[in-house]
Structure 1
Amino acid sequence: MMRQYELVERVQKYKPDVNEALLNKAYVYAMQKHGQQKRASGDPYISHPLEVAAILTEMHLDESTIAVALLHDTIEDTTATRAEIDDLFGEDIGALVEGLTKIRKLDLVTKKAKQAENLRKLLLAISDDVRVLMVKLADRLHNMRTLDHMSAEKRKRISEETMDIYAPLAGRMGMQDMREELENLSFRHINPEAFETVTRKLAELSTVNEGLVKKIEDELRELLSAEGLVNAQVKGRQKKPYSVFRKMQSKSLSFEQLSDVWGFRILVEDIPACYRALGIVHTRWRVVPGRFKDYISTPKQNDYQSIHTTIVGPSRQRIELQIRTRQMHEIAEYGIAAHTLYKDSVAAPGANSMAPGSNAYSWLRRTIESLAEGENAEEFLEYTKLELFQDQVFCFTPKGQLIALPRGATPIDFAYAVHTNIGDTCVGAKINGRIMPLVTRLTNGDEVEIIRSGVQVPPPAWEEIVVTGKARSAIRRATRAAIRKQYAGLGHRILERTFERAGKSFSREALKPSLHRLGQKEVEDAIALVGRGELSSLDVLRAVYPDHQDERVTPKPNTDEGWFNMPSATGMVFKLPQRRRDAETGAEGPEALPIRGLSGNAEVRFSPSGAVPGDRIVGIMEKDRGITIYPIQSATLQKFDDETDAWIDMRWDLDQANNTRFMARIAITALNEPGTLAEVAQAVSSSDINIRSLAMGRVAADFSELQLDLEVWDLRQLNHLIAQLRELPSVSSINRVFD
């Protein structure tokens, strides 16, 4: 176990003016509070916060953060209180310790909704002060290193949580070494058989190639030195087991098929030296096509910079090379911790100012902003996991702005990455000057120009095309808003007619004072609920005019008075409310809603068997479905006999220039002989009618039944076709079908 003076010496190596008193006080306080507590391994509990602090010293973090690491479990596991820590160490350290205490209570591997909400809290705590993330990741790393003393079930649960959340989060913050170690430790417990197999094969390969790594290092170093890069450092290493396993899985390769298990890094003094080293290596050895990436000119969002290339090097083996400066190497190893994260704690206690250019923390801030936009916790969880796990491609706007996107991203993702409004109004895209489909997958270096339209509404189907969380959540919001607008429009028309029948005038202003009676906060919400069928227009009328008596609403009579018999399409007879008499006789009042074509209308739809201009029609308001229009002969209407508020008077409103066809369904019983279907199809075609769908079935040995869904202009055209079909010698009977 590390001693007190050893911890201070670690910090002094990179911060000579360290506040020793603060570290000593935190050490002693944590030691006293944890007392005789033991870990599952039997070690003194104080060894855990000490090791967490040691991990943070490797990242060269300030003494305040080291003190927080020493204290991070005191509130949760001892008698320590926030007030006591504030008094002894200051409110800044107290707030960080409390933030870590709250995070520790989160169980991220639970039911989806709870997991999502807990992830919200985790990232919100991190956004307040990024030092919370540093300590939490170090805490998780040490716990993973000492996981063997837990039960198998708990080891797997904690490892899945680490692989799902903490390892990707470390990667997003640019802390690649920590991410790799977290992944490998998790891999060992999640899939122990695969871990053992890959580890054994890597050990065997290392034995076979003993001395090869040093030989390649020496040859690269001598080559660079001979060309003037005398200070270049070359370091080779074998890839980690999880990295190898992930590549085998993604590429469907066996271990023996892998050709780049070894990687080498070249560290030089400055950026010009990086490109000079690249030229030297490429001049000497052949490059593997398609394996070159320049993350210096276009850094990753987590600030990672390096040149990646693969060559066929010494011994005719494939070698992966990373060329970077020493400063870039620090950032690649420690990520966000490599930046000057905080101002001097004496001059500015608690300051949390990021150094300019830290894109990793900017990503975290953007993710937190999405909390305000997300409709629910599950959407936020999906958004965040999409952002955490995806590799990236780099594209450009016509003005040269760099946009980083996940692999597989489309121009729609690109549009939403630039601005939500640009995504919502996107109708097309030019990729490298050529108009391309919106489903095109973008590649590195593409220049994308978005074509926009002010009347565009994102289609719901886009949600299945995009890959970014931001685009997906924005499309959902836009779709919900569009549907709400449609239902509000329908609700407004229904309310206007309800108020008109009552001799009243409807307006949004008149509705405002009565919203509390309806349990709503916004006028548009109440109107949309009417359109969705979740709120009765009569209830709204009574809320606005409490003294109004609706004379049209009468209880169902016990006799047949006010009702009349109507034969259905199946021959059954059922009773119709008096309101349907107007529709049957064609006496449509001025309050009847007019309808035209309903293409793409989510609020009004036809019954499955359709209706055509000329049919007597009625609308039925159904919850969450808006209005469904039925011909008056439809047998389905009998289900709504007792729901008088659901009935909406409807009328056709078509002009002479109507170019919309409407669906009608007919059933034909015909002889089962060759040529019958051809005769029917010829009659339909000659009448300028389209067949939308056709179903056939045998009803007797010599007869078949054909059910046709037809697209016609109006009832006159449909009746003309039916008369023609009846004249065919092969047709036994024909009827209009009403569901």
Structure 2
Amino acid sequence: MPYFAQDNPERLKQIAAEYLHDADVARIDKAWEVVCEAHRGQKHFSGEPYVVHALDVACALATMRFDINSILAGLLHGVIKRGGMKIERLRDLFGDTLAGIVAGTTKIENLPYNSKLASQAENVRRMLVAIASDIRVLLVCLVDRLQDMPLLEKLPRERQVEIAQESMELYAPLASRLGIDWMKRGLEDFAFQYLHPDEYADINLKMDDSLAERQIYVNETITTIREILAAAGVTPLRIVGRPKHLYSIYKKLVAQKIPIDKVYDKVAFRIIVETIRECYEVLGIIHANWKPLQSRIKDFIATPKANNYQSVHTTVIGPGGHFIEIQIRTQEMDEVAREGVAAHWAYKDGQKVGEKDARLFKELEKLVATLKEVEDPKEFLDSVRSELVYPEIYAITPGGAVKELPAGSCPIDFAYAVHSEVGNHCKGAKVNGQIVTLSYQLQSGDIVEILTAASQTPHRDWLDLVKTGRARTQIRNWLRREEKEKSLGLGREICDRELKKYNTTLKKLIRTGHIRHLLKELRCVTLGDMLAKV
């Protein structure tokens, strides 16, 4: 994705001028002056001048047709950390909004923590909080990371692995949350290259060796699809065949424990039509000609993903007896599938955020709220990874809301996905109208009704059942509060019993003010701290 822009902003201004107002484009010159001043003499780890890297990030954001503050944030994203600029000056020059985005993208070095894990956790926490405040923080971070990935060969092996791991576990899932599929695939493939170099090289070589043969198969299959659709009176806008990206093939090899020559659906086909009605019509025509795998039919038009993705998926036994995956959608759905939030960017000309994007942003806010109370660095990072894992199950509430969950999720996971209070008081569940146990593993398409009771509270053994970070975090929080309340109750009981020997009580100590001296002597901040110590 690197553009290796020249060390002047003219190319950036040309791209921006295609869709932004002249007044907005004029702000690029001012930002460019600040960037040149802040990064004078500085090099990117690739060896290029840092200003070139900053221009590449800004050009990528402009190519995606983002608003001027996103573009300027991409240009200025390094001025605080690398350029040493104070946020106050940035705020004076460009306003609160832009300064907030740049600050949100800035990782903090030399944090006052005694472990690398704690430092990493705090940076991730800061970034997620900033993302919940302004989604553009995430967009700049993602584009910046994608610009860096092809250049990791310039770094020591240890640093390559660190960045690749973070990209695989954090950035790629976040790109998926925004629905920007090409960015997610790019981050995964680059990360795969550095995390598993031997496997990457092997798959890449074998895919290259079969490229000509595969292209012939793709062309012939597209022709066949077009012919069977024409015979049924349907004319698609276009049919596209593309190889699956390397990391998705690798995951299939690992999951199914098979060699690459046994992965038959290495190519996915996409059929673009004009209307939703035609989507289902094409699906019927495809199934009338090729036998489908029932477990691989997915309707994301009726039940869109949380990132607003819509399409009908099916896997059939196609020409030559090969399994082929086919996705069917409208032109608008295809734009959203490829570009995610960028397809109908909300921050243009003062537009309000659309209903679908608002729902997406709310999901990210919910993620941050869930993780806010997790203090232990390892538990926090584990929860982030678990919460961002790619969903494989799409279960539905009785009201029709879709909840995306990882494989193996149970009704408790579903309950917490609905609301923390629903999870905390979940006593049972009905799946497709039938009572099931809380250990039941949900399947895509299940309609799940959660049964609650005010007297029901989380059990410790629930931690052995749940798969989502959200559920695990909420259960642990409840158990900690419960244990603390028990400790406080027991501490108060012990204190009252001992103080009774001296003809006094806690209430008297509090009323007379003597409790302050006691807290100071015991080095406790609050009465609760003292009771817990007891």
Q: TM > 0.5 between the two?
A: yes
TM-score by length of 2: 0.89
Equivalent in the alignment of 2:430: 430
Q: How many pairs does the alignment contain?
A: 522
Equivalent in the alignment of 2:163: 158
Deviation at 1:216, TM superposition (A): 1.5
Return the alpha-carbon distance in structure 1 between the equivalents of residues 107 and 336 of structure 2: 29
Equivalent in the alignment of 1:132: 137
Q: Which residue, 40, 46, 55 being the options, matches 1:50?
A: 55
Q: Indicate conservation of the 8 Å contact 1:18/1:63, yes or no.
A: no
Deviation at 1:444, TM superposition (A): 1.8
Return the alpha-carbon distance in structure 2 between the equivalents of residues 392 and 91 of structure 1: 39
**Between Structure 1 and Structure 2, which shows a larger proportion of helix residues?**
2
Equivalent in the alignment of 1:307: 312
Equivalent in the alignment of 1:141: 146
Q: Are 2:1 and 1:2 aligned?
A: no
Deviation at 1:174, TM superposition (A): 1.4
User: In percent, how many aligned pairs have the same letter?
Assistant: 36
Equivalent position SS for 2:442:
coil
Equivalent in the alignment of 1:406: 406
Q: 1:522 to 1:452 in 2, by over 3 A?
A: farther
Equivalent position SS for 1:300:
coil
Q: Deviations over 1:155-188 (max 9, x none)?
A: 2222122122211221122111111111111111
Return the alpha-carbon distance in structure 1 between the equivalents of residues 373 and 361 of structure 2: 19
Q: Indicate conservation of the 8 Å contact 1:2/1:47, yes or no.
A: yes
Equivalent position SS for 1:77:
coil
Q: Indicate conservation of the 8 Å contact 2:276/2:329, yes or no.
A: yes
For 1:361, give the aligned amino acid.
F
Q: Indicate conservation of the 8 Å contact 1:515/1:522, yes or no.
A: no
- Pairs within 5 Å for 1:89-238: 89-102=94-107, 111-238=116-243
Deviation at 1:235, TM superposition (A): 0.8
Q: Indicate conservation of the 8 Å contact 1:295/1:305, yes or no.
A: yes
Deviation at 1:234, TM superposition (A): 0.7
Q: 1:249 to 1:520 in 2, by over 3 A?
A: same
Q: Indicate conservation of the 8 Å contact 1:120/1:377, yes or no.
A: no
Equivalent in the alignment of 2:355: 356
Deviation at 1:265, TM superposition (A): 0.9
Equivalent position SS for 1:211:
helix
Larger radius of gyration: 1
Return the alpha-carbon distance in structure 2 between the equivalents of residues 107 and 13 of structure 1: 45
Q: 1:455 to 1:43 in 2, by over 3 A?
A: closer
Q: Are 2:469 and 1:466 aligned?
A: no
Q: Indicate conservation of the 8 Å contact 1:457/1:482, yes or no.
A: no
- Pairs within 5 Å for 1:478-489: 478-489=478-489
Q: Indicate conservation of the 8 Å contact 1:235/1:266, yes or no.
A: yes
Q: 1:454 to 1:42 in 2, by over 3 A?
A: closer
Q: Indicate conservation of the 8 Å contact 1:431/1:449, yes or no.
A: yes
For 1:298, give the aligned amino acid.
T
Q: Deviations over 1:466-506 (max 9, x none)?
A: 112222122212222333333344334434433444444x4
Q: Are 2:379 and 1:379 aligned?
A: yes
Q: 1:273 to 1:510 in 2, by over 3 A?
A: farther
Q: Deviations over 1:39-86 (max 9, x none)?
A: 444433322112212221332112222122122223333365545444
Return the alpha-carbon distance in structure 2 between the equivalents of residues 491 and 105 of structure 1: 40
Equivalent in the alignment of 1:11: 16
Return the alpha-carbon distance in structure 2 between the equivalents of residues 8 and 520 of structure 1: 60
- Pairs within 5 Å for 1:333-372: 333-344=338-349, 354-358=353-357, 359-372=359-372
Q: 1:5 to 1:113 in 2, by over 3 A?
A: closer
Equivalent position SS for 1:357:
helix
Q: Deviations over 1:11-51 (max 9, x none)?
A: 34444767321234334543455444444444333221122
**Between Structure 1 and Structure 2, which shows a larger proportion of strand residues?**
1
Unaligned runs of 5+ in 1: 536-739
Q: 1:277 to 1:17 in 2, by over 3 A?
A: farther
Equivalent position SS for 1:244:
helix
Return the alpha-carbon distance in structure 2 between the equivalents of residues 483 and 12 of structure 1: 60
Q: Indicate conservation of the 8 Å contact 1:107/1:118, yes or no.
A: no
Q: 1:502 to 1:478 in 2, by over 3 A?
A: same
Equivalent position SS for 1:46:
helix
For 1:356, give the aligned amino acid.
E
Q: 1:301 to 1:211 in 2, by over 3 A?
A: same
Equivalent position SS for 2:438:
coil
Equivalent position SS for 1:286:
coil
Q: Deviations over 1:200-229 (max 9, x none)?
A: 111112133342212212222343345444
Return the alpha-carbon distance in structure 1 between the equivalents of residues 44 and 397 of structure 2: 54
Deviation at 1:293, TM superposition (A): 0.6
Q: Which residue, 20, 23, 27 being the options, matches 2:25?
A: 20
Q: 1:435 to 1:218 in 2, by over 3 A?
A: same
Equivalent in the alignment of 1:253: 258
Q: Indicate conservation of the 8 Å contact 2:16/2:25, yes or no.
A: no
Return the alpha-carbon distance in structure 1 between the equivalents of residues 382 and 22 of structure 2: 45
Q: Indicate conservation of the 8 Å contact 2:499/2:506, yes or no.
A: no
Does 10-19 or 231-240 show the bigger shift?
10-19
Equivalent in the alignment of 1:456: 456
Equivalent in the alignment of 1:61: 66
Q: Indicate conservation of the 8 Å contact 2:509/2:515, yes or no.
A: no
Equivalent position SS for 1:235:
strand
The alignment yields a C-alpha RMSD, in angstroms, of 2.8
Return the alpha-carbon distance in structure 2 between the equivalents of residues 477 and 40 of structure 1: 42
TM-score by length of 1: 0.65
Which one has more relative contact order, counting CA pairs under 8 Å at least 6 apart?
Answer: 2
Return the alpha-carbon distance in structure 1 between the equivalents of residues 337 and 328 of structure 2: 12
Return the alpha-carbon distance in structure 1 between the equivalents of residues 58 and 289 of structure 2: 45
Q: Indicate conservation of the 8 Å contact 2:315/2:323, yes or no.
A: yes
Equivalent position SS for 1:494:
helix
Q: Deviations over 1:606-646 (max 9, x none)?
A: xxxxxxxxxxxxxxxxxxxxxxxxxxxxxxxxxxxxxxxxx
Q: 1:420 to 1:161 in 2, by over 3 A?
A: closer
Q: Indicate conservation of the 8 Å contact 1:304/1:335, yes or no.
A: yes
Does 412-421 or 128-137 show the bigger shift?
412-421
Return the alpha-carbon distance in structure 1 between the equivalents of residues 417 and 158 of structure 2: 40
Does 75-84 or 443-452 show the bigger shift?
75-84
Does 396-405 or 462-471 show the bigger shift?
396-405
Deviation at 1:439, TM superposition (A): 0.8
Return the alpha-carbon distance in structure 2 between the equivalents of residues 457 and 94 of structure 1: 44
Deviation at 1:511, TM superposition (A): 4.1
Equivalent in the alignment of 1:617: none
